[in-house]
Amino acid sequence: MRSLTALALAGLLALAGCSGGDDRAEHAAHPAPTSVPPAPSSAPPPYDGLPGMPAPLDTADVYAAGRPGMLSDTVKAHLARVYVPNFDSGTVSVVDPATFKVIRTEKVGRGPQHVVPSWDLRTLWVNDNNGNDLVPIDPATGAFGKPVPVDDPYNLYFTPDGRYAVVMAEARRQIVFRDPHTMEVRKTLTVNCAGVNHVDFSPDGRWFIATCEFSGELLKVDVARQEVVAQLKLPGHHPMPQDIKISPDGRTWYVADMQTGGVWLLDGVAFTQPTFMATGDGAHGLYPSRDSKVLYVANRGEGSVSVVDFATRTVVNKWKIPGGGSPDMGGVSADGKVLWLSGRYHREVYALDTGDGHLLAKIPVGGQPHGLCVWPQPGRYSLGHTGILR
């Protein structure tokens, strides 16, 4: 799959979680505490934004710019589409969200993982991981452009000031800071953990926390210094952290753990041992609602979505996909009414009504659909992944 030694490759395939490969047998949930986690002990971090970063609309809610209808002028004329990267097929399925139909399938390379909005919202980047390139999409026309060579682009983020693209080179154990337009390397940060792949940023943009899937660790990285300033091993039996999202108030970090079957709640400022909340087998993707009230947790191993209340930090609902499935990565529609998720092992995409969780559609796509991107989305700028807009 990647340029690794035979021994390292065997180890990765045995663990493979977010990366390509059928890993369902490895991810049975383990018993975990179900009590309400305590509130973070530290006060909300003071706001002293990263120079060049847009000032927040509301310091009490990092998602305040993502309300329905709050589309920037940059994206108002963009096509309403859902872009689905199919890892096994080496294609991107383009879905019309109005009809729930695939209207186009584009060949993009040898292993696309995610479709990522650029910081300035003008480009969508297909992370062709196995092909070692990024493929640009013009969201105004839907046209796919010429691939840009980038080594091991498993995932892609952008610093809140728009100064750097941040490539998560998972197989290389690197976080690579690049020019956000040309993708030329500016600094390579080698990390002492395995499977570094998902990120979210602090409210002030000065640091981010990254998950290391294969070694069960978290990294805290200073954005200006581009250095790891803290490292934390998650508790439990072989934890496998996946997606990570910050709470609206910036105090709590939610970390999906596919192996343990739920999410860890972490005080990101203190960066001490987190508490656990069970959600379901194979907890994977995390997506806040457009009103900042709940967090949707895709439980890939059991075909369900858990709804977590941000205020009480409890699971208030669970939606099961009729006939089962493997909900993975995705996003929420611009109006907040539909949750879109890829069905990693079922060659399909799910569209769920966020009002009551009922299934609106199962859409056939290619093999191993992964980090789909719903576009356009409200917000002023993108931090990357499948759409972390603020």
Mean pLDDT of 225-249: 96
Render pLDDT for 127-184 as a digit per residue (tens, 0 to 9): 999 999 999 999 999 999 999 999 999 999 999 999 999 999 999 999 999 999 999 9
Mean pLDDT of 303-315: 97
Confidence of residue 236 (pLDDT cuts 50, 70, 90): confident
Domain ranges of the chain: 73-375
Render pLDDT for 105-119 as a digit per residue (tens, 0 to 9): 999 999 999 999 999
Confidence of residue 37 (pLDDT cuts 50, 70, 90): low
What is the reported pTM?
A: 0.90
Burial label, 187 (beta-carbon count in 10 A; 0-12, 13-18, 19+) = exposed
Mean pLDDT of 46-62: 89
Residue keyed to tokens 């970090």: 253
pLDDT of residue 106: 97
Render pLDDT for 69-96 as a digit per residue (tens, 0 to 9): 999 999 999 999 999 999 999 999 999 9
pLDDT of residue 48: 84
Among the residue ranges 17-31, 150-164, 237-251, 285-299, the one predicted with the least confidence is 17-31
Q: Is the Cβ–Cβ distance between 234 and 220 less than 8 Å?
A: no
Say whether 91 sits in a helix, a strand or coil: strand
Name the CA dihedral angle for 221, 224, 227, 229, rounded to a multiple of 10 degrees: -50
Mean pLDDT of 236-259: 96
Residue 7, H or E segment:
helix 6-15
Burial letters 358-373, b for 16+ CB under 10 A, else e = eeebbbebbebbbbbb
pLDDT of residue 252: 97
> Whole-angstrom distance between the N-terminal and C-terminal Cα of the chain?
34
Residue 124 CB neighbours (<10 A) = 25
Q: Is the Cβ–Cβ distance between 285 and 242 less than 8 Å?
A: yes
- Residue with the bigger pLDDT between 306 and 29: it is 306
Please list, in sequence order, all residues whose beta carbon lies within 8 angstroms of the beta carbon of residue 291, skipping any fewer than 6 positions away.
67, 336
pLDDT of residue 42: 56
Name the CA dihedral angle for 258, 260, 265, 268, rounded to a multiple of 10 degrees: -70
The mean predicted confidence, pLDDT, of the chain is 91
Q: Over pLDDT 90: what percentage of the chain?
A: 86
pLDDT of residue 54: 94
Q: In the predicted model, is pLDDT for residue 19 greater than 70?
A: no
Task: Please provide residue 67's backbone torsions phi and psi, each rounded to the nearest 5 degrees.
Answer: -70, 155
- Kindly state the tokens that stand for 279: 């959600």
Render pLDDT for 338-378 as a digit per residue (tens, 0 to 9): 999 999 999 999 999 999 999 999 999 999 999 999 999 99
DSSP 236-247: SSS--EEEEEE-
Residue 218 CB neighbours (<10 A) = 25
- CATH numeric code, 73-375: 2.130.10.10
- Kindly state the tokens that stand for 33: 């505490």
- Kindly state the tokens that stand for 236: 């439990």
pLDDT of residue 1: 37
Q: In the predicted model, is pLDDT for residue 213 greater than 60?
A: yes
Please list, in sequence order, all residues whose beta carbon lies within 8 angstroms of the beta carbon of residue 236, skipping any fewer than 6 positions away.
30, 32, 216, 257, 259, 260, 276
221 forms beta bridges with 208, 228
Q: Long-range contact list for 219-227, CB < 8 A, 24+ apart?
A: 219/191, 219/193, 220/268, 220/271, 221/175, 221/189, 223/50, 223/159, 223/160, 224/50, 226/177, 226/187, 226/189, 227/189
- Residue with the bigger pLDDT between 344 and 11: it is 344
